[in-house]
């Protein structure tokens, strides 16, 4: 079977067609779509200086059957599964940690398929081709003298394949909202404990009485002006928290032109119609992902309304399955988001480094399992707290 696939290495998304690539992307992995990744490359947000693409692909009879999109990294910023301590330990031992190879969506801490496979592959072919692509990536990394290979925010089935191919698993957690068949926001609130219901109602009431106009925009309701508005929101927030923004204005314009069908914008404007804040989100079928938030003025509770409650409203109205709101999470947890496991995989070439990191990961996994159980035991969701 291995001879039936031709596996090659490319370094530009432009070497693929949108149609071939997107056929491999499942609905819950929308950030792996061609328009998003190629948009990052086209606008210079990734490329030769950092996040250099390494695209391992498999073809048979001229058909693209699988792609493993990876990136050569010279640091760990924008990954959100933190390995800075590992890098420091390597440095103290006189071993280079960079460059390394990372399989992730740049600047996007969202779970999804990291190994993209054609939907017509049988289960056994999927497992086989996943292993082949991983092994080719490991071989590439060794050839290029990288320190390691990392798959971040991968799916459970990919975790199993990775372990079979000498990757060490890592466990972390995020907070996701799940639609339990709710007919309304009030029906969702009824599943929470009393004090949280009261707090959320108060927060929403204060926003409704603030004089702000809040719009939820999709499709043709989004204009190019919104690309500029949301870039300003993003730039302001990112510069306050992290310094230099990862994304540029051209990226937001590119997403307007080629990814608008996936965007959901929540825009807040003051009584004079001036945009003052909002959230930039992405959806596909039953899955909604919060990504960027920004505000030019501090309005109490506006963040919760734009980033959580309006997304839940939309998910309920459109019978969506899940809302993910990215990294970090205390605010999400208190507003009805559940603690869920997040998986990553790590292959370290240096034997001593690998032994030390794998020992650390074993202890970390046990701790994270306890953390997830402890969080959900204190959840404002009554069923989780009681169960």
* pLDDT per residue as tens, the chain (387 positions): 445 899 999 999 999 999 999 999 999 999 999 999 999 999 999 987 789 999 999 999 999 999 999 999 999 999 999 999 999 999 999 999 999 999 999 999 999 999 999 999 999 999 999 999 999 999 999 999 999 999 999 999 999 999 999 999 999 999 999 999 999 999 999 999 999 999 999 999 999 999 999 999 999 999 999 999 999 999 987 655 556 789 999 999 999 999 999 999 999 999 999 999 999 999 999 999 999 999 999 999 999 999 999 999 999 999 999 999 887 778 899 999 999 999 999 999 999 999 999 999 999 999 999 999 999 999 999 999 886
Q: What is the pLDDT of residue 119?
A: 97
DSSP string across 31-98: GGSHHHHHHHHHTTSSSSSSSEEEEEEEEETTEEEEEEEEEEESS-TT--S--HHHHHHHHHTT----
d(CA 346, CA 147): 11
For the chain, which domains are there?
A: 2-174+340-377 (3.40.630.30), 180-320 (3.40.630.30)
Assign 3-state DSSP to the chain and report helix, strand, coil percentages, each to 5: 45, 25, 30
Q: Is 16 helix (H, G, I), strand (E, B) or coil?
A: coil
Q: What is the pLDDT of residue 296?
A: 92
Check: CB of residue 321 under 8 Å from CB of residue 329: no
d(CA 108, CA 370): 26
Find the helix or strand (DSSP H, E) in which 100 lies. Answer: strand 100-103
d(CA 126, CA 204): 46
Q: Is 365 helix (H, G, I), strand (E, B) or coil?
A: helix
Q: Is 184 helix (H, G, I), strand (E, B) or coil?
A: coil
Q: What is the pLDDT of residue 1?
A: 43
Check: CB of residue 114 under 8 Å from CB of residue 133: no
DSSP string across 207-266: HHTTT-EEEEEEGGG--HHHHHHHHHHHHHHHHHHTSS-SS-HHHHHHHHHHSGGGEEEE
d(CA 88, CA 306): 38
Residues 6+ apart with CB under 8 A from 162: 134, 151, 154, 169, 345
Query: Tokens 């072919």 identify what position?
Result: 125
d(CA 60, CA 125): 13
Nearest to 378 by CA among 323, 325, 318, 338: 338
Q: What is the pLDDT of residue 238?
A: 63
User: What are the tokens at 1?
Assistant: 């079977």
d(CA 274, CA 160): 50
Check: CB of residue 111 under 8 Å from CB of residue 153: yes
Q: What is the pLDDT of residue 48?
A: 72
Q: Write out the E strands in 256-295.
A: 263-269, 275-284, 287-295
Environment class of 318 (CB within 10 Å of its CB; exposed 0-12, middle 13-18, buried 19+) = middle
Count, residues in the chain: 387
Q: pTM above the 0.85 mark?
A: yes
The alpha-carbon radius of gyration of the chain (Å, integer) is 22
CA distances to 235, 246, 269 from 249, in Å: 9, 10, 21
């Amino acid at each position: 079977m291995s001879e039936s696939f031709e596996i090659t290495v490319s370094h530009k998304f432009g070497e693929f067609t949108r149609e071939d690539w997107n056929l491999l992307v499942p609905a819950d992995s929308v950030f792996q779509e061609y328009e998003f990744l190629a948009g990052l490359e086209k606008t210079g947000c990734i490329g030769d200086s950092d996040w250099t693409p390494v695209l391992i692909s498999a073809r048979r009879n001229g058909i693209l059957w699988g792609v493993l999109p990876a990136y050569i990294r010279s640091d760990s910023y924008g990954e959100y599964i933190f390995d800075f301590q590992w890098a420091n330990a390597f440095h103290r031992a006189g071993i280079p940690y960079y460059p390394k190879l990372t399989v992730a969506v740049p600047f996007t801490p969202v779970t999804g398929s990291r190994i993209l496979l054609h939907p017509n592959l049988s289960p056994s072919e999927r497992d086989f081709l996943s292993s082949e692509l991983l092994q080719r990536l490991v071989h590439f990394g060794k050839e290029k003298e990288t320190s390691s290979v990392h798959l971040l925010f991968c799916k459970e089935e990919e975790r199993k394949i990775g372990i079979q191919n000498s990757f060490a698993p890592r466990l972390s957690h995020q907070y996701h909202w799940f639609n339990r068949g709710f007919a309304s926001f009030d029906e969702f609130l009824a599943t929470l404990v009393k004090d949280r219901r009261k707090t959320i109602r108060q927060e929403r009431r204060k926003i409704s009485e603030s004089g702000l106009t809040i719009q939820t925009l999709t499709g043709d309701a989004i204009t190019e002006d919104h690309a500029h508005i949301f870039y300003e929101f993003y730039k302001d927030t990112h510069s306050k928290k992290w310094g230099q923004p990862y994304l540029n204005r051209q990226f937001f314009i590119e997403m307007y032109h080629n990814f608008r069908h996936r965007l959901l914008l929540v825009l807040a404007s003051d009584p004079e119609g001036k945009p003052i804040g909002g959230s930039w989100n992405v959806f596909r079928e039953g899955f909604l992902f919060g990504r960027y938030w920004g505000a030019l003025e501090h309005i109490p509770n506006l963040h919760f309304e734009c980033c959580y409650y309006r997304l839940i409203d939309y998910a309920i109205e459109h019978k969506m399955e899940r809302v993910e709101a990215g990294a970090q999470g205390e605010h999400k947890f208190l507003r009805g988001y559940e603690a869920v496991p997040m998986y990553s995989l790590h292959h370290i070439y240096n034997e001593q480094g690998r032994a030390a990191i794998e020992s650390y990961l074993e202890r970390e996994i046990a701790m994270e399992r306890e953390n997830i159980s402890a969080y959900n035991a204190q959840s404002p969701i009554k069923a989780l707290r009681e169960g």
